[in-house]
């Protein structure tokens, strides 16, 4: 019996050996687990570094940055400078040597026998009576004649400067022919004539309307009415203004006043010197 119990007794494993076996098993299990983890990819890839620039496909377009529009700042503009008023006192309207002198039935020249000191003949324009003009008027007439010729207009001088004595003779002849009342409508008395200033010129184009109202409808009359102010001449006795100027319509009679005044009158639509300078109408002699 003793022999039998001894033969079926379980063998004993030393404790140290058992512990080593258990440790080895643990290491083996850990290794298997690690290998399994490495073999299966992680479902969530690591986030890219913020410093990396993502690549785009050729059709990918980066969304534009949206910024709030800047509100423009209103800057007040400086007002445009006002055009200076025309200086109506730049030249005298009383001095007979002034290019702005106004002579009419109520305004006699002083002295009555005034004679300009700078008379000269205009060059290059037919002048049947060889009458001169004051130097600035003569030079301006030459320029105007040259430009008129370029436009196909051929001008000639019918009358220009007339002295006091010449005006005496001319006016007396008109009175003898037509009577005093009629003569006063178209011829100035001595000492009142614009021709005596050397600044007035009567023009013609040899078209059959010399010193006639029909000159206004000739090519020369039309061209002069439109262009004479550019050269400093104004149509001194306009149509419909005889109650102011004292003389009938004379579309051939042009008076030199200089480009500044002539252009100002054209731009403002003021047709007579009396109206422009605020002078009384002069329909009759005082």
State the catalytic residues.
Answer: 250
Structure tokens that stand for 72 in this block: 């423009």
Rounded CA-CA distance 125/282 in Å is 33
Alpha helices per DSSP H over 40-134: none
Distance CA 210, CA 60 (A): 89
Q: Which DSSP state fits 237? A: S
125 torsion bin: left (phi>0), alpha (psi -120 to 50), beta (else): beta
Number of Cβ within a 10 Å radius of residue 23: 10
What is residue 75's DSSP assignment?
A: -
Query: Which residues are registered as beta bridge partners of 256?
Result: 233
Query: Residue 147 to residues 19, 212, 265: CA-CA distances in angstroms?
Result: 132, 24, 21
- 210, two tokens: 């010399």
């Amino acid at each position: 019996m003793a022999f039998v119990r001894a033969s079926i007794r379980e063998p004993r494993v030393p404790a140290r050996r058992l512990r080593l076996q258990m440790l080895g098993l643990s290491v083996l299990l850990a290794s298997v687990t690690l290998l399994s983890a490495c073999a299966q990819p992680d479902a969530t890839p690591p986030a890219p570094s913020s410093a990396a620039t993502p690549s785009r496909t050729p059709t990918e377009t980066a969304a534009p940055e949206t910024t709030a529009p800047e509100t423009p700042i209103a800057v007040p503009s400086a007002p445009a400078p006002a055009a200076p008023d025309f200086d109506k006192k730049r030249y005298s309207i009383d001095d007979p040597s002034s290019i702005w002198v106004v002579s009419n039935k109520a305004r006699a020249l002083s002295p009555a026998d005034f004679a300009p000191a700078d008379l000269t003949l205009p060059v290059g324009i037919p002048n049947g009576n060889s009458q001169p003009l004051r130097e600035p008027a003569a030079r301006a007439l030459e320029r105007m004649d040259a430009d008129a010729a370029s436009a196909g207009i051929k001008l000639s001088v019918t009358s220009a400067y007339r002295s006091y004595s010449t005006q005496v003779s001319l006016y007396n002849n008109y009175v003898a022919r037509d009577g005093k009342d009629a003569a006063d409508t178209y011829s100035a008395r001595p000492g009142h004539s614009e021709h005596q200033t050397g600044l007035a010129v009567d023009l013609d184009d040899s078209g059959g309307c010399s010193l006639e109202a029909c000159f206004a409808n000739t090519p020369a009359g039309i061209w002069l009415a439109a262009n004479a102010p550019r050269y400093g001449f104004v149509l001194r006795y306009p149509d419909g203004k005889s109650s102011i100027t004292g003389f009938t319509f004379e579309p051939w009679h042009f008076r030199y006043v200089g480009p500044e005044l002539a252009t100002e009158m054209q731009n403002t639509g003021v047709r007579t010197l009396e109206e422009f300078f605020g002078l009384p109408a002069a329909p009759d002699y005082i």
